[in-house]
A and B are shown apart, each in its own frame.
Chain A
Amino acid sequence: KNEVEQSPQNLTAQEGEFITINCSYSVGISALHWLQQHPGGGIVSLFMLSSGKKKHGRLIATINIQEKHSSLHITASHPRDSAVYICAVMGRGGGADGLTFGKGTHLIIQP
């Protein structure tokens, strides 16, 4: 069973700061998702990665398959980025394995 660890668990930063959230997993995967969960609870999928790097607006996600590690970066952070960010990994066994989720990183961006 894959163990997914996220760090930090909680992060408070000032508006404009560069944010990094880390995710490590213990077993090889086929893909990794980064999700955003707002205070109301709704889940939004930000990225799916199987290698390299992806960028969408101010969000950048990277993955190092050999190191079993992924990072989510937020540039020029804004209070509206405040949310819980969740890392989830997809096993190599195919869809029936489902996803294994990290516990999430609670991010607060102060104005």
Chain B
Amino acid sequence: SQTIHQWPATLVQPVGSPLSLECTVEGTSNPNLYWYRQAAGRGLQLLFYSVGIGQISSEVPQNLSASRPQDRQFILSSKKLLLSDSGFYLCAKGQIYGYTFGSGTRLTVV
């Protein structure tokens, strides 16, 4: 199975509150994992990727961080959310034969 579990599907959080989005994957061990964000009116953009446990690379500076505490767990976090953090967040697993996607989380910061 190549399933990716991502939750929650929707989330409304106040400005200044913390955030934790979790993504867990099934299938082949040691996958490349990715967090993408889609802001309003824009395409999905890469936030973080991980090639292994504890290995995180960031593509853009931001108010977010990512962690990979286990091989098949990828977490996106923030200590204090900003209004500009609103958007659609997508977890993905990438391997040489292609990508598998979570269903995404719609985050609204109010």
Contact = CB atoms under 8 A, between A and B. Distances in A.
Q: Specify the main secondary structure of chain A where it touches its partner.
A: strand
Given A35-B101, A41-B9, A41-B106, A96 B44 contact: no
Interface of B: 9-10, 32, 34, 36, 41-46, 49, 51, 57, 59, 88, 90, 92, 94-96, 98-106
Interface residues of A, number: 24
B88 A48 contact: no
Contact of A42 (B45, B96, B98, B104): B104
Contacts of B92: 99
Interface of A: 4, 31, 33, 35, 37, 40-45, 48, 86, 88, 90, 94-96, 98-99, 101-104
Contacts of B103: 41-44
